[in-house]
Amino acid sequence: TSTSTPFPPGFLWGGATAANQVEGAYAEGGKGLSIQDVMPRGIAGPPTEEPTEDNLKLVGIDFYHRYAEDIALLAGMGFRTFRFSIAWSRIFPRGNEAEPNEEGLAFYDRVLDECEKHGIEPLVTISHYETPLGLARTHDGWVSRAMIDHYARYARTLFERYGSRVRYWLTFNEINSVLHAPFMSGGIVTPKDQLSPTDLYQAVHHELVASALATKIAREVAPDAQIGCMLIAMPTYPLTPDPADALAVMRADHLNLAFGDVHCRGAYPGYFLRHLREQGVELEITAEDRETLRHTVDFVSFSYYMSLCESADPTVKAGAGNIMGGVPNPTLPASEWGWQIDPVGLRIVMNQFWERWQRPLFIVENGLGAKDELVEVDGVRTVVDDYRIAYLNDHLVQVGEAIADGVETLGYTTWGCIDLVSASTAQLSKRYGFVYVDRNDDGTGTLERYKKKSYDWYAEVIRTNGGSL
């Protein structure tokens, strides 16, 4: 091992996936449909009435049948943690049943068995963009208050079943994304351009109450559980030194930070209430809601891929980006999908979150979506993904800097540690993994797994606790 590393002993190195992007088996084991089963184009196209064959998520990477082999591959890199989500519609197929589906629960017991076998600490997302389609269609998703009870019953079921085996839990993946992708993030069927601000912010409120309620329930039934919120971290810079641009940054930041503020402080910040007033929104907040919100989280987790600029000038155009597009930064390079690459932004946002909330951070997504080419090196099929190694190395160096700045950090999980179906575009060719999965955008491929060059690189990072960076 290396001599000096800023990473604390016990740092949780690992990788992350989501059920709908890996499992497939969309109609097996008693699973009901989720919104993802009718999203063949991700958020790049409209949902369909029924699942259609061109939807890569119906098969995913077949993790449902290959989980043991896949977890062994992750363990081969020395993973200390594995983030995965539970498919809500495996546990409550339509979402409104009184009793859970035992076959679904048993599947995640088997996944946890494999984690335990390899000494891997599970990190479980309760809801990762996979609302049961039944709830989306009957309630317009989180617009309806009824969702709080359905989610609470689901979360309680998970805490009761797995509470003794799972320590780290995330309530909602990227909870702030509901403002930008209401169907994927909030199961809201009403098209975004027809959704009133009142319905949209009421959905936000219901999710925030549900998240706090999950924390409250965990405190009762799974006292060892550590509950985290999960945000899209998107550091935003003013496009110019004009104070008007700095103010535009502040306002954009506020719309994201509000979600962390509620999770960590237990009440709505004044700037957010002002924003609602200016939108003409009067939220229905009950006295019980206010009490529930006071159950704050143990840690703050987030995804980080890129940063953005903001401008007060309405003629400046937005560019591509993870769920929320923003103004491109002229100083930064971008990925093939237009996501701007900014390792230093990760250090900045870690400092910002730590200073603001004083809760330990967990970086639960980071990575480069890129096209890979399977080649043969010394008779072995692999991918020479030096670009991915460079991206991850540069970002991890900045994580080390933030830790040296004093930011308490629990761990780091790369996104899509094994190739999976992308969320925004539903492609397999947008690959993030250390492990290549032979499946193409047209659905062809053997589903065989191959280790990429980055596999050995990451194993060395973990072995040296970051000393090799």
| Least distance (Å) between residue 173 CB and ligand BG6 | 5
Whichever of 217 and 423 has its CB closer to ligand BG6, that residue is: 423
| Least distance (Å) between residue 417 CB and ligand BG6 | 12
Active site residue 365: yes
3 state SS of 331: coil
- CA-nearest of 293, 234, 305 to 267 is 293
| Least distance (Å) between residue 364 CB and ligand BG6 | 9
Contact 292, 225 (CB under 8 A): no
Whichever of 393 and 425 has its CB closer to ligand BG6, that residue is: 425
Q: If residue 156 lies in a helix (H) or strand (E), which one and from where to where?
A: helix 146-162
CA distances from 459 to 335, 372, 420, 467 (A): 24, 20, 20, 12
Question: Residue 317 carries which DSSP code?
Answer: P
Contact 289, 225 (CB under 8 A): no
Backbone angles phi, psi at 141, to 5 degrees: 60, -140
C-beta atoms surrounding 279 within 10 Å: 13
Q: By CB neighbour count within 10 A (0-12 exposed, 13-18 middle, 19+ buried), where does 48 fall?
A: middle
Whichever of 281 and 418 has its CB closer to ligand BG6, that residue is: 418
- CA-nearest of 456, 426, 452, 458 to 438 is 452
Whichever of 35 and 281 has its CB closer to ligand BG6, that residue is: 35
Q: If residue 213 lies in a helix (H) or strand (E), which one and from where to where?
A: helix 197-221
- Give the binding site for ligand BG6 (CB under 6 A): 18, 21, 129, 173-174, 303, 322-323, 365, 369, 415, 422-425, 430
Whichever of 61 and 423 has its CB closer to ligand BG6, that residue is: 423
Residue reference for tokens 């535009």? 248
DSSP states along 230-243: EEE---EEESSS-H
Whichever of 17 and 292 has its CB closer to ligand BG6, that residue is: 17
- Residue type, position 119, single letter: G
Which residue out of 207, 310, 365, 401 is catalytically annotated?
365
| Least distance (Å) between residue 128 CB and ligand BG6 | 6
Contact 252, 310 (CB under 8 A): yes
Q: How far apart are CA 277 and CA 291, in angstroms?
A: 22
| Least distance (Å) between residue 418 CB and ligand BG6 | 12
End-to-end CA distance of the chain: 12
Stated length of the chain: 469
| Least distance (Å) between residue 43 CB and ligand BG6 | 8
Contact 60, 420 (CB under 8 A): yes
| Least distance (Å) between residue 17 CB and ligand BG6 | 9
| Least distance (Å) between residue 196 CB and ligand BG6 | 25
Whichever of 19 and 383 has its CB closer to ligand BG6, that residue is: 19
| Least distance (Å) between residue 125 CB and ligand BG6 | 9
**Nearby residues of 466 by Cβ (< 8 Å), 6 or more positions away:** 2, 5, 6, 7, 11, 396, 400
Could you tell me whether strands 81-85 and 12-16 are parallel, antiparallel, or unpaired per DSSP bridges?
A: parallel
Helices (H), 326-375: 343-357
The answer to whether the Cα torsion of 10, 13, 218, 303 is positive or negative is positive
Q: How far apart are CA 239 and CA 217, in angstroms?
A: 44
Whichever of 344 and 370 has its CB closer to ligand BG6, that residue is: 370
Whichever of 340 and 422 has its CB closer to ligand BG6, that residue is: 422
For the annotated catalytic residues, the residue numbers are 365
